[in-house]
Structure 1
C-alpha cells in the first residue's frame, strides 16, 4: 500500500518549473517567518539537487541525454538562470554549491547541436555584469566566479565580457585583500585572457593603451608579492603567444615597459625574477630596438651582465640556462 502514496517523480521539464516557482517565491517573500523560509529552502535544496542528478547522474546511473536536453531547454525557455543568479545571496551555502554546479553543467549542454546557454547569455548580457560585480560580496564571490568562468567558455560570451565596462573592474578586484577572492579573480582573469586566442588578440590590439596602463600600474607595480608574481607570469604568457605578436612588438618598443621587468630582475623572489626574465628577454631579442631602449641596455650593460651571471634557479632548467646565455651574449655585443 505504501507504494500508492509515493510522490510522483517529476519529469525534467516539471522539475525546472518547480525550481523556478520556488525561486520566485523565495525572491518575492523576503519577510517570511523563519520556519516557512526553512521549509521552502529545504524544498528548493532538494529540487536543485535533483536537477544536478539529471545533469551529472549519480552512483547508480549515468545522465540520460534526452533528459538533459529537456531540462536544458526548459531552463533557458524562461528566466531560471536569471532567478538563480539574483537569488543566490538569499540561499544557504549548500544550495549555492549545488546551484553553481548546475549552472556549470548547463553551459556544456547542447540542444539540437547548439549551446543554448550561450544564446541566452547573448540576449541577457547584464547577467555577466552581475556575476563580475559579485566579487564585491564575500559570501557569493567564489560561486559567482565559478559561474562566470563556465560562461566564458563560450567565445562570444568571453568577447562580451572583454568589451564590457565591467572589464575594468578586474584590475581593482585583483587587489582585493581577501586572498581566496583575489586568487579566484586571477583565475577568471587568466582564463579570460588566454582561452580564446583570436578574440583576445583582437581585443588587446584595440584596447592596448588603457589595458597595459592598468596592467603595469596596478598589477606589475603592485606592492603585493602574489599579485606581482601572477601578473608578470601572465604577461609573459600573453606576449609569447603567437596570436599576440603585434601586441608583443608594440610592448617591447616602449622604454617604460622595459623598466618594469628590469627592476623585477632584482626582486628578492626567485620566482618573480624568473618570470621577469622571460619578459625582459623579449626586449633584448627585439631586432628593431628603438634607440632609447638600446641606450638603456647599454647604460646598464655591466650591471645586467653581473646580475644575470649570478642568477641561478634552485632547480636546474636547461631551457632557462640556454635563454640566459643567449641574452647575456646579445647584451655583451651591444655597442653605441
Structure 2
C-alpha cells in the first residue's frame, strides 16, 4: 500500500502562492520571532529552487512553456516581486542567488506575446529605486545589480532609470572602494548607455551638460586605473555609435574635452592610450573644427606628431595604422 496515496505535485501557481505566503510571514515577523523565521527562510530556499527548476528546466527535463506562463502570471498577479526584493536581505546567500535567477528569467517570459514583467514594472517604478540604491548595501548590491540589469532590458524601464535622479548616483557607485560592487555598477551604467539606442540619444541630448561634465571630471579624470580605462572605452562606444552622431559632433567641438583626451594619450597605460586615440581621432577628423581647437593642435603639433609616431600596437593592425597615418597627416597640414 505504501506510496499509493502519493501527494499530488503542486502546480506552478501554487508554488508561487506558497512563496508569497512565506515572504509575507518573513516580512511581518522578522526580528520578532527569529527562530521561526529561520525555519521559513529554509522552506523558502526550497521553493526558490523549485521555481528555478520550472523556469530553467533541470538535468532531466527542459522547461515547459505552459508551466512557465502559469508561474509568470501568478508571480505578477500580486506583489510577489516587491516582497521578494524587500525580503532579499533577510535570506541566506544561496536563496538570494536563486531568487536573483528567478527574477532574471521572469523578465523574458512572454504570456500571450506580452512581457508581463514590463507591464508590472511600469506600474511599480519605485521598485527600480530600491534596486538602484541597493548599491549602497554591500550584502545585496550584486544581487540587486543583476536584477536591475535584467529589468532595464525593457526600454521604458531603462528610460525611467536614465531620467531619474538616481542616474547621477552611478558616478559615485562606480568609484566605490569595493571592486566587485564598483564593477557591477559600471556594467549597469554601460548597459543603460548602450542598450536602447534611441532612448540613450534622447537622454544624452537632454542632459548633455551635466552628464559629460561629470563623466569627464569623475570618470575620465579618476585616479583609479580601472575606472579610467572602462570610462574611456565606454566614451568611445557612445560617440562612435551612429545613433549618437549629433552628440559626438557636440563633444568634439569642445576644447576642454580635447585637452582631457590629449592628456589620456600620454598615460603610461598602453590600453588607455589606444582607447583615447580612438576618441581623439574624432576631434582631428572633424571638418568643422572650432578655431580654438585648431590653435591647440597647431601649438602642440610637434609633440603630438612625435607621440603618435612612437605609438605602436603589440600586434600589427592595418586599420589602426591607417587611422594613425590619417590623423598625423591632418595635424601636419593644419
> Paired residue for 1:31?
31
CA distance in 2, matches of 1:9, 1:170: 45
Q: How does 1:200-219 map to 2 (within 5 A)?
A: 200-219=200-219
Unaligned runs of 5+ in 2: none
- Runs of 5+ consecutive residues of structure 1 not aligned to the other structure: none
Q: 1:41, CA displacement in angstroms?
A: 1.2
Q: Counterparts of 2:320 and 2:226 in 1: how far apart (Å)? A: 22
Map of 1:310 onto structure 2: 310
TM, length-normalised to structure 1 = 0.97
Corresponding residue number in structure 1 for 2:147: 147
Match of 1:274 in 2: 274
Which shifted more, 264-273 or 25-34? 25-34
Distance 1:299 1:310 in 2: 19
Task: Give the aligned partner of residue 126 of structure 1.
Answer: 126
1:36 Cα offset (Å): 2.2
Name the counterpart of 1:14.
14
Matches within 5 A, 1:12-161: 12-161=12-161
The answer to whether structure 1 residue 284 and structure 2 residue 284 are counterparts is yes
- Could you say what secondary structure the match of 1:222 adopts? coil
How far the C-alpha of 1:39 sits from its partner, in A, is 1.6
**TM superposition shift of 1:31:** 2.5
Q: How many residues align structurally?
A: 334
What secondary structure does 1:21 align onto? helix
Structure 1's consecutive aligned runs of 4 or more residues displaced over 2 angstroms after TM superposition are 4-8, 31-38
Q: How many Å apart are 1:189 and its aligned residue?
A: 0.7
SS in 2 for 1:314: coil
- Structure 2 distance, partners of 1:85, 1:181, is 18
**Counterpart Cα distance in 2 of 1:89 and 1:3:** 39
Give, in angstroms, the shift of residue 320 of structure 1. 1.1
Match of 2:181 in 1: 181
Corresponding residue of 1:322: 322
After TM superposition, list the pairs within 5 Å mapping 1:232-271 onto structure 2.
232-271=232-271
Farther-moved stretch of structure 1 (1-10 vs 74-83): 1-10
Alpha-carbon deviations, 1:185-231, whole Å to 9, x = none?
A: 11111111101111101110111011101101100011110000000
Secondary structure of residue in 1 paired with 2:267: coil
Displacement of 1:34:
4.9
Query: How many angstroms apart in 2 are the aligned matches of 1:132 and 1:31?
Result: 25
Partner of 1:222: 222
After TM superposition, the score normalised by the length of structure 2 is: 0.98
CA-based RMSD of the aligned residues comes to: 1.0
d(CA) in 2 for partners of 1:179 and 1:122? 32
Instruction: Write the distance in 2 (CA, Å) between the matches of 1:251 and 1:20.
Output: 50
The reply on whether 1:166 has 2:166 as its aligned counterpart is yes
- Can you list the C-alpha shifts for 1:47-84, whole angstroms capped at 9, x where unaligned? 11111111111111111111111110010010000011
Instruction: Output one character per residue of 1:236-261: Cα deviation in whole Å (capped at 9) or x when no partner.
Output: 11001000000000000000000011
Cα distance in structure 1, aligned partners of 2:2 and 2:164 = 56
User: d(CA) in 1 for partners of 2:28 and 2:67?
Assistant: 30
SS at match of 1:2: coil
